[in-house]
Structure 1
Amino acid sequence: MQIGEVTAEDQRSVERWMSEYLTRENRDLGRGGAVCPFVGPAREAGAIRTETLLAEPADGVEELVTYLRDRIRRFGDRPVPEGKEPLTALVILMQGLPRHRWRLLDTAQRRLKRETVEQGLMVGQFHPDCPEPAYWNPSFAVSRSPLPLVAIRHMAFHDILFLHADPVLFAEYQRRFGNRYESGKKVSREFRELYTRALRLPAPTGNSYIDYQSITLLHALHQPRTVHQAESSFYLAGQAKEILFSLVLGEVRAAQEGIVSDDLGRSSWHLRRATAGLRLLSEFWDLLSTLSPAEFHSFRNALGSASGLGSYKYRVLEFALGVASSSIAAAYEGVPGVETEVYRAMHDASLYDDALDLLVRLRLLSARDMWPDRDLPAVREAWASIYREETISSGLLGWAESLMDLAQAFGRWRWLHLLTVERIIGYKPGTGGTTGVEWLRHVASQHAFPELWEARSLLEGGDAGGCPSSLRSPQGPGTGTSRDQEWEQT
């Protein structure tokens, strides 16, 4: 990667985006005022600098992080008008990355956020597909720009919106702006509520293991409503499942990063661990199946309307797998922090989206097959062609089967949920207001990656161990070019 000259066309495009979008009100934002209250004053002060990064098409997250870390370190080098230092900003235009890699900027930003905040700075990513939601209206993807870019600026008072949920990030914010809250100065009700909530985050104990694993907080959060031991098992199993949802989600996102980086080996590795996490999650249904109907009913009233339907982390995982509808996100509207995460996942590409985009890049699908609506027969045939044309040692076939392992583990989780509920409560309504078993049976019948399952119907028997005839050269085996070799060449 190297610094390049900003073209006049790119500069005009960024200027238009700033003047016609960032500095103006937007009714979709959910509040009054400019989309970004920082940009207007910074432009007037002449404190925004723009540069271009010339990336290699194959550059991945590590290269992006390395470059951006260097620019963050050098951020204060450029002189600005006296008294305008807090308004200094650097806008970095990203050139050379193919569109499917623009989302690597999202990953790079997440990796750099903590170390950037510790320096009193903020780093944000923008691109045409950016999933970041607006805080006041999470259904609005606020960070979309005409070109992929990264912005670096000084931390501002309104950044409580982005820093309140992480103890380390909040500590840096408190160090710089805490006096404004604690001195009795006028602060908006929303900001004060976020600040007060952040103050309740656990303080370090001094024990490295306890602090690293947040053990004190974990045990403090074990608060069943009744004295029944059956509820304690139910309660702890639910909390453990929530943590494992985060584990699986993280591995799914890492698998997506591998696809976007055109590294199928890396993607398969993370799919393997995500699948193992789902298998572990399924074991909890065995534990919960040990609850008798009488034991469950001894504490069911204490649940009130609480239900697994309220698990936002599970819903985010469903979005990441591409199996949830956007209407589900509405259930979390108005829930601080949670609403933003759910809508971000809804705006973001799913694992299956990225998988199909890869098939387009491999010319197994055409872009016309994917837009504006998915051509289901074409997608099925694309998956089927992988199974017809690849050997069992093929990296492409192995990756497809890794997706299938994950889909099967997810389906097994859903069916075991159904069986467990049917065993314990029969056909009574669920605590969340659903029809219970009837609703779960409908959900369990919906596969992740449906066309990958359906492609099996298009296949016939063949040579399971050798090279398919379609890949054999007339001169004899071993002289043809497999799709794996083509992949290496591209």
Structure 2
Amino acid sequence: MGGHRPEGLDDVREWFSCFLSEPHGELGREGSVCPFVAPARRAESLFLEEVAYDAGRGWPGIAEVMCKQMDSYAERSWPTGKEAVSALVTVVHSMPAHHWPLLDEAQRRVKAEAVRRGLMIGQFHPHCPEPGVWNPSFTVSRSPRPLFAIRYMALHDILFLHADPELFAEYDRRFGDRYEGHSRTHLPSRFVELYEAAKNGGRTRTEYIDYQSIDVLLSLQRPHTAHPAEMSFYLVGQAKELLFKLVYEEVSAARLALVVDEADNASWNLRRAATALDLLARTWDVLATISPAEFNAFREQLGSASGIDSYMYRMLEFALGRKSDSMARRHAEVPGVAESVYRELHRSSVYDEALGLLHRRGLLTDGAEAGEWHPDALRQAWVRVYEAHGPSSDLFRLGETLMDLAHAFSRWRSLHLLLVERTIGNKHGTGGTTGVDWLRRSADHRFFPELWEARSILPMGAPLW
């Protein structure tokens, strides 16, 4: 795509004068549809350019042109004192009508970059779905041709930036002082309401949005490339972190239940944790749909970022009993994280508390003073649970739900190994690991090993209970 001074765009110029510069009955407010166009035309600070559409590059190509035009906009010499009403409008010619939605996607992708530069970028085309701010049923951004416009951010852009915390932060940095003291009395009440709501976390939504913090949650996706597969990778990564926290919270609740000898309550929590781990295992199915070529397209942007540095995962491993000083040290220099990781490292695990319960029930004696039992004693204790108790026993149910959890975790690790092997082969991992070799060793680990080993020494023959 290359920019040049356009000729024969009378329909666009007419749209400027007869639509954007005029009031409209469906707008929902007084004044012209776009308050910038008429002042910009009078100041001779509205530039119109045209670029050719490259159908082979789709929306990423449009996004690249948008960024180049933002560079061009920033480098221009605008009429003195008229910078605030300067605008660069770029018409995308030779774009098939069925490709117009790609213009919407490109704008969505570059909007944050524009705001970081103190700019606003908007897309327009004959089928543009953008709703009006004051009347959402009014499709305000429909133009005779596909185009996009760039201008400087303005005070009234609170209307467009209040819902996204990152974008609002940029707005607040530039215009926050206008909402202080006497100055705010001259602002429209709607601006003040939206500004205050954004400053307070956006709590002007429905009860569901507020309860789940949905607006905040959905504003946290910031892929580093325009490759579509990266968004899937990014979202699955965030979903995994949320599920790690879910499993960790349930395991922690089970641990506390065991402290007070409530084995069935602990089993109930462990049952939910195991089910969540099954859901975690399905996340690998989603990532398996990303081909090696797609992953390689954005892998460099990960740098050294790796799941090995997930502190929520690490805390979950510690909570289940796999403690590691070296793994804890990976988080030692991260304020706020190090404290949580080391606290979990030093805390008893859910398995420790399960063994403590077996001791209090008379099934473990050796090493009880130090809380350190010989592996043979642990295996025999679990064998006695299975020999002497059936499903009606809370200890039997505890053993089985612990096994459900360990089984689900091992399955999750095994599927991780398979996914990495099919995606990157034997390449090293981004976190400095050896990749599949490291994952294979990790997949061989079993939580609650004596509970697994007890299966090997259970006598033949069905118990009568």
| 1:368 paired to 2:345 | no
Measured in 2, the distance between the counterparts of 1:211 and 1:393 equals: 43
Assess if the C-alpha contact under 8 Å between 2:366 and 2:373 holds in 1.
Answer: no
Measured in 2, the distance between the counterparts of 1:343 and 1:310 equals: 14
SS of the residue corresponding to residue 232 of structure 2 reads: helix
Residue 235 (structure 2) aligns with: 236
Change (3 A) 1:401 1:200: farther
Residue 407 (structure 1) aligns with: 406
Question: How many residue pairs are counted as aligned between the two chains?
Answer: 268
Residue 391 (structure 1) aligns with: 390
The range that moved more, 210-219 or 386-395, is 386-395
| Structure 1: segments with no counterpart, 5+ residues | 1-198, 468-490
> Residue 259 of structure 1: CA displacement?
1.0
Give the structure with higher Rg (CA): 2
1:319-338 aligned at under 5 Å gives the runs 319-338=318-337
Assess if the C-alpha contact under 8 Å between 2:319 and 2:349 holds in 1.
Answer: yes
| Aligned AA (2:389) | E
SS of the residue corresponding to residue 278 of structure 2 reads: helix
Measured in 1, the distance between the counterparts of 2:245 and 2:371 equals: 32
Residue 458 (structure 1) aligns with: 457
- TM-score by length of structure 1 reads 0.53
| Aligned AA (2:416) | H
SS of the residue corresponding to residue 227 of structure 1 reads: coil
Measured in 2, the distance between the counterparts of 1:351 and 1:200 equals: 41
Residue 358 (structure 2) aligns with: 359
Change (3 A) 1:373 1:265: closer
Assess if the C-alpha contact under 8 Å between 1:369 and 1:379 holds in 2.
Answer: no
> Residue 257 of structure 1: CA displacement?
1.7
Measured in 2, the distance between the counterparts of 1:433 and 1:324 equals: 20
Assess if the C-alpha contact under 8 Å between 1:256 and 1:354 holds in 2.
Answer: yes
Measured in 2, the distance between the counterparts of 1:244 and 1:228 equals: 25
> Residue 371 of structure 1: CA displacement?
2.7
Residue 302 (structure 1) aligns with: 301
Residue 291 (structure 2) aligns with: 292
Residue 221 (structure 1) aligns with: 220
> Residue 400 of structure 1: CA displacement?
0.7
Assess if the C-alpha contact under 8 Å between 2:379 and 2:453 holds in 1.
Answer: yes
Which deviations, in whole Å up to 9, do the C-alpha atoms of 1:236-270 show, x marking residues without a partner?
00001101111111111111122112111111111
Residue 429 (structure 1) aligns with: 428
> Residue 372 of structure 1: CA displacement?
6.7
SS of the residue corresponding to residue 368 of structure 1 reads: coil
Measured in 2, the distance between the counterparts of 1:425 and 1:385 equals: 46
| Aligned AA (1:394) | S
| Aligned AA (1:278) | L
Measured in 2, the distance between the counterparts of 1:270 and 1:458 equals: 28
Residue 211 (structure 2) aligns with: 212
SS of the residue corresponding to residue 393 of structure 1 reads: coil
Residue 265 (structure 1) aligns with: 264
Change (3 A) 1:201 1:367: farther
> Residue 206 of structure 1: CA displacement?
4.2
Measured in 2, the distance between the counterparts of 1:449 and 1:419 equals: 23
Which deviations, in whole Å up to 9, do the C-alpha atoms of 1:74-122 show, x marking residues without a partner?
xxxxxxxxxxxxxxxxxxxxxxxxxxxxxxxxxxxxxxxxxxxxxxxxx
Residue 476 (structure 1) aligns with: none
| Structure 2: segments with no counterpart, 5+ residues | 1-197
| 1:350 paired to 2:349 | yes
Residue 338 (structure 2) aligns with: 339
> Residue 418 of structure 1: CA displacement?
0.6
Measured in 2, the distance between the counterparts of 1:270 and 1:436 equals: 33
